[in-house]
């Protein structure tokens, strides 16, 4: 796995940690967030958020800095809501709620919103193309805002990680994840974009992985989250 750069770790701490905290307090998927998880960073982030609440009313169009694009992968529709394969969508929803960002319009085939985390402009997107065609949304979004791939973060489920474990990765392959395959294809083979991988565990026994991905989280999986908390792998 590629070495995680210090700049991307800072992005994780100051942009992704607030929604992770919110998600852990309000979501049925992440039932509890251990107080020991990046304790010092959490306190710093929350202090920064308290000081910078005023930025929510700022006009996005006046910002000159390049925004960060956060894309959660998943499938649209009530049928897939709350399934393992849709944890990327759930993270974007938590991100938006924690930062009071409205994601209520369609842009480049995605449900889309824009706002701020502290002084940093962010774009939030949930592609509505279905998982296997995610790149049809992500590619045009990055192109529309003329973003280098280093400013793109794709959030997705990962069966190779234990349930509830997170791993940040600044680049890499698709790991047989069809959503990532599509994103890489529409980035013309370029893999130099950031990922936040959310562990969902492996299917039990001989269960079909596709069926496992489309299941809701059961009580056992929820209990594992309660016991383990969220871990940064």
pLDDT of residue 131: 93
| Segments making up each domain of the chain, as ranges | 6-232
Please count the CA atoms within 13 angstroms of the CA of 183 that sit on its side-chain side.
Answer: 32
- Give just the sign of the alpha carbon dihedral 32, 213, 81, 49: positive
- For helices 135-144 and 178-186, what crossing angle results, to 10°? 40
pLDDT category at 215 given cuts 50, 70, 90 is: confident
Contact 130, 75 (CB under 8 A): yes
Q: Which of 23-27, 165-169, 212-216 has the lowest mean pLDDT?
A: 23-27
Query: Average of pLDDT values for 7-24?
Result: 57
- The residue from 85, 156, 186, 225 that is catalytic is 85
Closest listed residue to residue 170, CA positions, set 13, 4, 1:
4
Cα–Cα distance list, 131 to 88, 196, 206, 224 (Å): 10, 16, 24, 26
Question: Is residue 174 annotated as part of the catalytic site, yes or no?
Answer: no
pLDDT category at 31 given cuts 50, 70, 90 is: very low
pTM value surpassing 0.95: no
Contact 65, 145 (CB under 8 A): no
What are the tens digits of pLDDT across the range 67-117? 999 999 999 999 998 888 898 998 888 888 878 899 999 999 999 999 988
Task: List 29's β-bridge partners, or say none.
Answer: none
| Topology annotation, domain 6-232 | Rossmann fold (3.40.50)
Q: Which of 127-141, 176-190, 204-218 has the lowest mean pLDDT?
A: 204-218
pLDDT of residue 213: 78
pLDDT of residue 75: 95
What are the tens digits of pLDDT across the range 123-132? 999 999 999 9
Contact 125, 92 (CB under 8 A): yes
Does residue 5 or residue 65 have the better pLDDT? Answer: 65
Report the mean per-residue pLDDT for the chain. Answer: 76
Q: Does residue 217 carry a pLDDT above 70?
A: no
Nearest-angstrom CA–CA distance, 85 and 71 = 14
Q: Are strands 165-169 and 194-199 parallel, antiparallel or unpaired?
A: antiparallel
């Amino acid at each position: 796995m590629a070495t995680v750069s210090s700049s991307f770790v800072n992005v994780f701490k100051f942009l992704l940690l607030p929604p992770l905290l919110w998600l852990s307090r309000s979501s049925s998927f992440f039932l509890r967030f251990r107080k020991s998880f990046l304790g010092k960073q959490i306190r710093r982030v929350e202090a920064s958020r308290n000081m910078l609440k005023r930025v929510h009313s700022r006009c996005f169009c006046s910002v000159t800095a390049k925004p960060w694009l956060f894309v959660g992968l998943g499938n649209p529709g009530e049928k897939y809501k709350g399934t393992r394969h849709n944890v990327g969508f759930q993270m974007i929803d938590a991100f938006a709620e924690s930062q009071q960002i409205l994601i209520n319009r369609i842009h480049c085939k995605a449900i889309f919103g824009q706002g701020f985390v502290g002084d940093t402009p962010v774009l939030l997107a949930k592609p509505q193309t279905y998982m296997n065609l995610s790149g049809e949304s992500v590619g045009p979004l990055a192109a529309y805002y003329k973003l280098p791939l280093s400013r793109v973060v794709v959030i997705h489920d990962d069966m190779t990680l234990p349930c509830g474990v997170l791993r940040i990765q600044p680049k890499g392959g698709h790991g047989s994840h069809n959503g990532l395959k599509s994103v890489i294809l529409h980035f013309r083979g370029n893999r130099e974009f950031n990922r936040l991988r959310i562990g969902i565990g492996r299917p039990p026994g001989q269960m079909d992985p596709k069926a496992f991905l489309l299941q809701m989280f059961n009580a056992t999986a929820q209990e594992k989250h309660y016991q383990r908390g969220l871990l940064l792998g």
